[in-house]
Amino acid sequence: MQLGLFPLPLFLLPGGITKLRIFEPRYVRLVKESMAEQKGFVLAMKEGDAICTYGTHVQIIDFETLPDGLLGITIKGLSRVKLSHIDQEDDGLWIGNTETLPDWSTNSANPGLLSEALEALFKAHPEHASQYSDELHFNDVNWVCQRWLEVLPLANNQRQWFIAQEDAEDAKQFITVLLTEEIQNEY
């Protein structure tokens, strides 16, 4: 499926929710077409002038007029996608073919430390947690790992590597090591 691409230095994975301010005409068009055709768009990362290979297909779940008169939208990640045949239209809007990647395989392991630390992070930053309203899944290791990957300061090549993985196992191990080191440094 061909979709519009919204390149941002923002990392969002399936189940992730965030708000965007829309002001450039090409992205106003992207939002209008996305809403009219109910097909969403792809949140993509850039490396220099090039669009990265992997992104996240998102849907608009809410919109509003912001105090400054700009359009505000709330998006939710639907699925990871691999991009190909990327092109730029006359108005500068990027488009590309998307191949939907399967959801991360289900892991029945308890997220334990990762979940507890994410809950503490959400309590410390209620503005971020409030975006999820009733969609907090602290017992789901995939959901917990995906939220951690969104907030950790990772380089694009690291983000691209994690988004391409078939499951959350490497992410879980990576985040566990980071949290364990952080706890050890506190003592």
Mean pLDDT confidence for 20-37: 95
Q: Kindly compute the dihedral angle of the four CA atoms of residues 136, 106, 80, 133, in this order, to the nearest 10 degrees.
A: -10
Mean pLDDT confidence for 133-153: 90
pLDDT band with cut points at 50, 70 and 90 for residue 147: very high
* pLDDT over threshold 70, residue 151: yes
pLDDT band with cut points at 50, 70 and 90 for residue 184: low
What gap in Å lies between CA 175 and CA 48, rounded to an integer?
Answer: 27
Contact call for residues 43 and 75 (beta carbons, < 8 A): yes
Lowest mean pLDDT among 2-16, 25-39, 101-115, 145-159: 101-115
pLDDT band with cut points at 50, 70 and 90 for residue 108: low
CA 169 vs CA 4, 30, 109: distances in Å: 31, 35, 10
* pLDDT over threshold 80, residue 48: yes
pTM: 0.91
Tokens of 47: 């490396």
pLDDT band with cut points at 50, 70 and 90 for residue 112: confident
CB under 8 Å to 119, separation ≥6 — which residues? 138
Average pLDDT, the chain: 92
* pLDDT over threshold 60, residue 99: yes
Contact call for residues 16 and 46 (beta carbons, < 8 A): no
What gap in Å lies between CA 179 and CA 174, rounded to an integer?
Answer: 9
* pLDDT over threshold 90, residue 43: yes
2-7 vs 41-47, strand pairing mode = parallel
pLDDT per residue as tens digits for the range 57-98: 999 999 999 999 999 999 999 999 999 999 999 999 999 999
